[in-house]
Amino acid sequence: MGILNWGFRTNVKLHQAQGKDSLTLPLKNSPGETVQFSDFIKNEVKIIDTSKKLWLNPLLFNGVLQTLYYTSVDTTKKFLIYYGRELFTYKDKGICSLDWVIPKPESKEEFKKLHDQTFPEGFPKLHPRTRYMTEEELAARRAHNQDTDSTKPIVVILHGLSGGSHEPLIRNLADSINKNTEGWDTVVLNNRGCCRTLITSPKLFNALSTEDIREVLVDLKERYPSRPIYAVGFSFGACILANFLGDPNQDEKTRSLVKAACLIGCPWDLVDSSHHLDNSYSGIYLFNPALTTFLQKMVKNNYAALRSFDPELFTDELYRKFMAPKTTWQFDDVFTCSTAGFSDAYTYYREASPARRIGSIKTPTLILNSNDDPAVSVRLPWLEVSRNPALALVETDLGGHLSYAQSSGEFWSVLVVEEYFKSFSETIA
């Protein structure tokens, strides 16, 4: 990052196929009529205005400060969303947790009572304002075809490498959708081992955990066959979602699971992203150690279970190795590759980079990346995007990793996602 990436007024560029080269979408209120995806973005998602500068918080004048604000700001009194947790079991007996936004409880006492009644024995303590659902709530959520008439969208959120439903950015989005829509549902998919979810199988999540996403989305579509699913991924979650959307082996049924998608701060090239982290002061001293510490903690907290599943793989020798690294690539080289079947970290990174699959994405997808992102590669695939009818890439000079923090304390990236999904719901059939 150079001096040109400092400031608080950023240029906004838009890359996408134009005219008839753009995806044709059916209009909701005009049967038989259509609109090109490029025209939809230009005319309906007005928050994306390439003719004006985007103003961010002047005190956060580079990508490092923007990112540090996002990761460390005190939001204990903001975005006070409440979650009801559902444990989802994969076919391989591993679990993720689905945190559904629920109404604010009538009293703290009632919330605590339900929290204590539903808390599973032996599970980690939950984040504030989160409790497990009651049996009655779970039965209503899991009843397939129980809401066949509703066409209200479900927003599925995929978090970053060390994140979960408790993150300020995700709570901001969940809170905003909850307040500004009627009848929508928002659910955060917390990956295996993340956001205080136990690991119950030898498998961990990685950048190619697309089958995990597919299993959840298939189940949601079976429960709510008429409700469109909108999916948004942040950072590593965007990487997994992009790989899912661009999987060339998907059948049409799988492709239709997500009606519209957003990818925020996606690391398009994992090899370049690794070098990006390893060759900057902020990466060496701040972001790489923080990410690696999370990964080590996740495995440390679940090591007894992992060893019981596969004692030949999860040995004390391997444990000592993966507790030593201070970079994500060293951790991945020792541990992720052992569980995912790759010979080394960079073979895994090359195979798992979503840039490899960008041409196969058919879902109308809005992308947001910043050129001063200190955490992922800033060599953006604008040319590949411009050749895919279904994609639109918003490129900015400033904003950091995911943040785009404004003077109000809100994140512009959240406003972009919300307006895109709301406009899509109102305009596209």
232-255 b/e (C-beta count within 10 Å ≥ 16 → b)? bbbbbbbbbbbbbbbbeebeeebe
Q: Which two tokens stand for residue 17?
A: 């196929």
The pair phi, psi for residue 309, each rounded to 5°, is -75, -40
Q: What are the start-end ranges of the E strands in 103-153? A: 130-132
**Residues 229, 153 contacting (CB under 8 angstroms):** yes
- The tokens 């025209």 sit on which residue? 39
The pair phi, psi for residue 114, each rounded to 5°, is -65, -35
E strand or H helix at 90, and its extent? none
Enumerate residues 6+ apart whose C-beta is below 8 A from 75. 168, 171, 172
162/168 Cα distance (integer angstroms):
13
152/226 Cα distance (integer angstroms):
8
Concatenated DSSP letters of 209-230? THHHHHHHHHHHHHH-TTS-EE
337/340 Cα distance (integer angstroms):
5
DSSP 3-state of 157: strand
Q: Which two tokens stand for residue 70?
A: 């996002």
Q: Which two tokens stand for residue 134?
A: 């009651």
Catalytic residue list: 235, 373, 401
The pair phi, psi for residue 92, each rounded to 5°, is -90, 10
Concatenated DSSP letters of 305-347? HHHHH-TTTS-HHHHHHHHS--SHHHHIIIIIHHHHT-SSHHH
Cα-based angle 398, 372, 379 (whole degrees, multiple of 5): 120
